[in-house]
Structure 1
Amino acid sequence: MNKRHLTAYAVVAILFAATGAYTGLRQSAPPVTTAQPAGVTGPVAALFKETLPDAKGVATSLAQYKGKAMLVNFWATWCAPCVQEMPELSTLSAGEEGKKLQVIGIGIDSPSNITEFSDKYKITYPVLVAGMSGTDLSRQFGNTQGGLPFTVLIGADGQVKKTYLGKLKFDELRKDLATL
């Protein structure tokens, strides 16, 4: 490469850099607001927009749970810790806590696997089928690695109170529920 070409390339690169800098400076930054908008926002709002089939294929709108405290458990049939915690989640759902708290299982698995699983085990709370899109939904709640089980405690106000990655420690969960 000769000096003339090298000089031309340098001039073009400087022009592109200057144009980029000028354009970047001309774009105004969005206004910063400190007040929280009214209503439910963020991942909880995304959750309430979902309509997912249950194990029998019946569409269930998650918006019906607005205004109620929720425990949303992301799980899969092939996840041993997920399956191990389900009987205790069923007990929680059927007990006194279940009167104040809606437990929901969101299966990150195929509809046929979840249907077969639900037929085999008696689960006392709604089990919904999200497939792999459930992983994206759990990531919105902070599950960046997509690990399972992943559980989200949501207050009646629509705010995330706590998230749990891995098998639930029910003593800890009951203490957290007492603060709702």
Structure 2
Amino acid sequence: MSLRTKLIAGTFGLVLGTSGLMAFLERWEGAGQNVVYADRLARGLPTVCAGITKHTSPYPVVVGDYWSDDRCGEVERLVVTKGQLMLADCIKNPAISQNTFDALYSHGHNNGVPSTCASRAMRLINAGKIADGCRALAYGPDGRPVWAYVTRADGTKQFVPGLHNRRIAEMELCLK
């Protein structure tokens, strides 16, 4: 039985869209962001609520549009549930905790679940090296920050301290 099937059946001990995860996402994605804005770190990608974009929303996401709290809540729950089920397909280690699952999802919410699934962190966690995998959410094997850079218009990479702070918070949540 796959982790996804166990999650749906409620037999794995992990829960989708916990209040802790939703609060964690709001901390990093913003709470009460009801007007769609052009996210400058994502090259102007229209974003609303807690990080909802055209890539995740069933509704159009148009800069300047207003989304009610009810619509934000509805779409956030939908996006998190769908994303966590996708993430569950990548997890092969049944020994992960809710905190590790939520930290991996936060990373996927910000970077895309396929990127998280293909990450060094996921490989380590699936190999049973959970603590090493958690640390890999924020640091490379050489100790340098990872997943904390944006690509500028000229193609160069720029370190973003706020992204690294989020990676550290994900690492800490993952290690709990």
What TM-score bracket applies, with the shorter chain setting the length?
A: under 0.3
- Give the structure with the larger strand fraction: 1
Q: Which has the larger radius of gyration?
A: 1
The two structures have a TM-score, normalised by structure 1, of: 0.25
RCO higher in structure (CA 8 A, sep ≥6): 1
- Structure-2-length-normalised TM-score: 0.25
